[in-house]
Amino acid sequence: MNHVAFSAAKAVFVPFTASAENAVNQYGFYYALDLSEYASDSENPTGELSLNRVVVRLTARNVYRLYVNGEIIMHGPARTAHGYCRVDEVNVTDHLIDGMNHIAVEVVEYGNRCEAYNRYSNDSTMEDGLFIAEIDADGQILAATGRDQWQVCRIYARAPRSERISHSRECTEIYTLDDGYYLWRMGLEEFSPAKPLEQEPVYLTHDALMPTLEESSFDQLLEYGACHIDESVKLSALFYEANSPYYASLPETPTADCRRTVESDTGRVHAEYGNDGLTLMPAETDDFYALWDGGESRVGFIRLAVTCEKAGVIDLVHTELLQTDGTIPYYHNIVTRLHVPAGLTEFVTIEPALARYVMVYFRGVGDVTIHGLSILDDAYPDERRTSFLCSDENVNRLYQAAKKTLLLNTQDIFMDCPERERGGWLCDSLWTARAAALMLSDSRVEREFIENFLLTPADGMFHGFFPEVYPALKPSYKDMTGITTWSFWLMCEVCEFIRRTGDIAFRDKHKPRIAAFVEGTKDFMGKSGLLENLPWLFIDWSMSNYGEYQQPVSSPANALYAYMMNELGETFEEPEWVAEGQRVHT
């Protein structure tokens, strides 16, 4: 492990008690950084600073966003194992000014105390909230949490209880926006001093690249018109809602409202382009809509700048595809609801979206002018270390599509999908890592992804196995880690990673954990000399996955086990493991 040591900072969090009934607790941390003494020329100030390099070193749980002077600089964290935090280091030199600078960090603590979500996520370990940061200017620590007085406030704009994004993600976003939602970032709020934590995690480096937050606009207006919510439409519950009384108790359900919304003709809404953007003026209707196409799918944070004539509701609906009839498919919750005041609203989501199309429903807001609709990139950057070109243009297009798919599903970990779940699943990652090596020539995400799993304590896991998806949270890893054979795939990936990178130090550091797993597999060795009655098997989507073909002996599971043991034995120089693999093979 590459450990990080903060020079002066200590972990802090809020001085008030998080609400146990809430699924979301959102906070704003703030520090006023006066750089007047670092002006390049105090007699002839130019606004430039004499400092060469200023970095903010920070991390938090569960989600955080760094602002400098009101501007979004980065979004985190890099997810990792329980009891650990990966630390980001962000160069903010070009964002600072001579004089007072506003350093603000928005921290979202998800559902770790909320029973409504059954303490389950495939996207986050959902550990208690934490924040730590220090500002380093040319080696001098100008400000540090726990040493200097950072302030914190509760952000009340976001609804604390809402629908889940999916069965394995946290909350959709519902906001009631006013000036307070923005002004805390500039120090204008009722703050309290942040509270030092008694226990801190182990801090790790984050060497993989961070998303660029590059902004791309939704430029093509496809259609617009009147709409209304048809309450008579009967909806079937999304698959994870059916058995949960939590959803029936929610005060508002934007996704259901949007699923019931019926669009009508365009004649009742007038559209006009001007210097300030697109103005939509409804006639004889309170509700209307507009649909934009961004040209291609992107992962990121949706940004809206709009001026409304009256206070009302705006529902932002995003999707990467439309159905054949042009309607939006609701496979999971894809709605962000904004309760907006009259006047200008500027908003950026904090949940990443996979979006090519954005449908915006305006409900009771009167005339509106849309100044901008865009998305801030939250996918893995392409450094263009590799290239591919052949004489068949169709093959070239397939390659580019595959590479883009890889980038959209890669960030701090390899994800199974870029929005609905964002989980780091074993088995999948073996093939994703091969693609990353080939198409990106980059092993940094793979290294940290594998390390996350290897940091899990063997004695806290089911027979020393590894979680099927991680970072995540299950009620008990001791009772169940998930699909057992996927730990076999992880071991295959570890061996391939070590061969690709030659990272012997990584191999030796994690060998004890892998040895504990190998020992745990022996618990399932039966009288047949093969693994017997392995629980939670997944082979494929054929009849091979039926229980009667898996128990007591699964031939595919034993074949994979034999291959894995041989690979581990050769990679970790353990002849006994090789011999065991050959024995099972024969």
- Predicted pLDDT of residue 210: 95
Q: What is the Cα–Cα distance from 343 to 100, expressed in whole angstroms?
A: 29
**For 226-255, what is the mean pLDDT?**
85
Strands 353-363 and 368-377: unpaired
What does the longest C-alpha to C-alpha distance in the chain come to?
Answer: 87
**Tell me: the pLDDT tens digits for 1-12?**
567 889 999 999
Higher pLDDT, 121 or 118: 121
**For 311-331, what is the mean pLDDT?**
94
**For 387-409, what is the mean pLDDT?**
96
**Tell me: the pLDDT tens digits for 433-449?**
999 999 999 999 999 99
> Residue 228: pLDDT above 90?
yes
C-alpha torsion 431→435→437→439, nearest 10: 180
- Predicted pLDDT of residue 41: 66
Asked if 258 contacts 317 with a C-beta cutoff of 8 angstroms, the reply is: yes
What does the block give as tokens for 336? Answer: 């962000």
* Beta-carbon count within 10 A of 220 CB: 11
* Percent of the chain at pLDDT exceeding 90: 80
Asked if 211 contacts 380 with a C-beta cutoff of 8 angstroms, the reply is: yes
Residue position matching structure tokens 């091969």: 434
CB-based contacts of 262, cutoff 8 Å, min separation 6 = 227, 228, 229, 230, 233
CB-based contacts of 441, cutoff 8 Å, min separation 6 = 385, 386
- 116 pLDDT band, cuts 50/70/90, is low
Identity of the amino acid at 278 = L
Identity of the amino acid at 109 = E
CB-based contacts of 425, cutoff 8 Å, min separation 6 = 416, 468, 469, 486
Q: What is the Cα–Cα distance from 374 to 138, expressed in whole angstroms?
A: 35
Coil, strand or helix at 65: strand
> Residue 118: pLDDT above 80?
no
> Residue 369: pLDDT above 60?
yes
Q: What is the Cα–Cα distance from 17 to 436, expressed in whole angstroms?
A: 43
Phi then psi for residue 576, to 5 deg, are -65, -35
Q: What is the Cα–Cα distance from 568 to 124, expressed in whole angstroms?
A: 29
What does the block give as tokens for 503? Answer: 């990272």
CB-based contacts of 307, cutoff 8 Å, min separation 6 = 276, 343, 344, 345, 368, 369, 371
What does the block give as tokens for 402? Answer: 């595959």
Distance of alpha carbon 290 from the chain centroid: 28
**Tell me: the pLDDT tens digits for 274-313?**
999 999 999 988 999 999 999 999 999 999 999 999 999 9
Strands 24-34 and 100-110: antiparallel
- Predicted pLDDT of residue 475: 82
Residue position matching structure tokens 């709605």: 335
What does the block give as tokens for 76? Answer: 């985190």
Distance of alpha carbon 294 from the chain centroid: 21
Q: Alpha-carbon Rg of the chain, whole angstroms?
A: 26
- Predicted pLDDT of residue 331: 87
* Beta-carbon count within 10 A of 212 CB: 15
- 46 pLDDT band, cuts 50/70/90, is low
**For 235-243, what is the mean pLDDT?**
78
- Predicted pLDDT of residue 42: 55
Return the half-sphere exposure (C-beta side, CA atoms, 13 A cut-off) of residue 26. Answer: 20
CB-based contacts of 266, cutoff 8 Å, min separation 6 = 223, 224, 225, 226
Closest CA to 327 of 405, 239, 223: 223
Q: What is the Cα–Cα distance from 299 to 443, expressed in whole angstroms?
A: 21
Residue position matching structure tokens 């950072």: 150
Higher pLDDT, 178 or 23: 178
> Residue 68: pLDDT above 70?
yes
Coil, strand or helix at 189: coil
CB-based contacts of 524, cutoff 8 Å, min separation 6 = 463, 531, 532, 533, 534
